[in-house]
Amino acid sequence: MTKLSVRARLTAVYAGLFMLIGAGLLVLNYTLLDHYLPNAPSQSAIAHAGLSTTQDSSGSVTVVGPGPDAGSGQFFQALQINTNDLRDATLHQLLVQSSLALVLMGVVAAFLGWLIAGRVVSPIKAITAQARRLSERNLHERIDLDGPDDEIKDLADTFDAMLARLDSAFDSQKSFVANASHELRTPLAITRAAVEVQVQRQRPSEAQWRAMSDQVLSATERSDRLIGSLLLLARIERGSLLRESVDLARLVSAAVDEVRPMAAAAGVRLESSAEAASVLGDPDLLRRLVGNLLENAVRYNVDGGWLTATLTRDDAQAVITVANSGPVLSPQMATEIFEPFKRGATPRTRSAEGSGLGLSIVATIASAHGGQVHALPLQDGGLEVSVTLPALS
């Protein structure tokens, strides 16, 4: 069985409703006309005229009059017959002609309904055609539907907004893949160059072998960190999270203790404070969030700089704030550093050690726990990053 199109179904609904309403109107007119049309003379009227009626074996009623007034009986009898015939003929003509008119107007209603339905579904056809044309190469195209601000335009605008998000997502994915490939290619190139140089030597010394080994080990560790970060991002996006109560104060204190040797080696002064606060989430990921914030603040700092880490409780929210010294950053750069493989515009201390995924992982973990991340460039240089998470009561 062939499935009717939306346009055909709308047309059928229009025509069906018109016929139903027309039939109801016809029945109403027929009933009213039947009620108000004059009837044949009643028994009281015949008696008042001095006449009487007789009924034969077939049930027919005949008006008769006394003696010389029989003409009056014939008059009343003719009046009764003509009235009944006129009444029946009128009702019959009403029924026949109104039915024909109803059928004719039903055809007109179906035609007009077909035209109106076509105009109604035309924007939907445009959306369908645009969806069929979509590919990775033309996600920038939009419907841009003109017309009144109704449900159809709202649907088209929603579709355009979805296309914009898809376009942005595809661009981000392409950029992410390109950057990840570049970041992975760098340590591989270092490894290959170190090995090729060593192979070309006639009789490499032990010190040369050790230097090559250190280069290969360093490049391998860099690749391992990058791959681990990429796998972590994929895990978070899949939603593979634990949900348990996490003591943020203890977690922040442990993360600060872990990063103290790194800060001391870099000559960065580290201060911290933590109020009591607990959140619902994955302890490993939250530990990674705080650790990335602290390591990023040390790695992208200046010699002899400072770093502060605080945990505060504000109503139903826990706020982790990490601030550090450094060069002056623009507000735009402070926003872009949360994107994968984005680093500060000015190279800072030990910046080459990072993969550019630290703050991106922070933002992803915070979002997965229903939180938000905000970065504020400091006036004298440096950055303040605040992570807000829903706190347990």
How confident is the model over 280-301, as pLDDT tens digits? 988 888 988 999 899 889 988 8
- State yes or no: pLDDT of 150 exceeds 80: no
For domain 151-237, give the fold.
Helix Hairpins (1.10.287)
pLDDT value of residue 94: 83
Domain boundaries, given as residue ranges, for the chain: 6-133, 151-237, 243-390
pLDDT value of residue 351: 44
Average pLDDT, the chain: 79
**Looking at residues 232-254, what average pLDDT do you find?**
84
pLDDT in tens, 247-268: 999 999 999 999 999 999 989 9
More confident residue, 80 or 116: 116
- State yes or no: pLDDT of 183 exceeds 70: no
- Sign of the dihedral through C-alpha 246, 252, 254, 259: positive
Measured distance CA(4)–CA(150) in Å, rounded: 25
pLDDT value of residue 168: 77
3-state secondary structure of 338: coil
Measured distance CA(219)–CA(193) in Å, rounded: 11
Could you tell me the pLDDT band of residue 79, with boundaries at 50, 70 and 90?
low
Q: E strand or H helix at 136, and its extent?
A: none
3-state secondary structure of 53: strand
**Nearest Cα to Cα of residue 292 among 221, 220, 377, 353:** 353
pLDDT value of residue 319: 94
- State yes or no: pLDDT of 117 exceeds 60: yes
- State yes or no: pLDDT of 318 exceeds 90: yes
* Residue 10 structure tokens: 């709308």
pLDDT value of residue 389: 94
Measured distance CA(7)–CA(118) in Å, rounded: 6
Decide whether 151-237 matches 243-390 in CATH topology. no
Taking the whole predicted model, whether its pTM rises above 0.85 is answered as: no
pLDDT value of residue 71: 52
pLDDT value of residue 322: 95
Measured distance CA(296)–CA(290) in Å, rounded: 10
pLDDT value of residue 75: 52
- State yes or no: pLDDT of 230 exceeds 70: yes
pLDDT value of residue 5: 80
pLDDT value of residue 101: 87
For domain 243-390, give the fold.
Heat Shock Protein 90 (3.30.565)
Most confident of 191-205, 318-332, 352-366: 318-332
More confident residue, 6 or 46: 6
Beta strands in the chain (DSSP E): 52-55, 61-64, 244-247, 269-274, 278-281, 306-314, 317-324, 372-377, 383-390
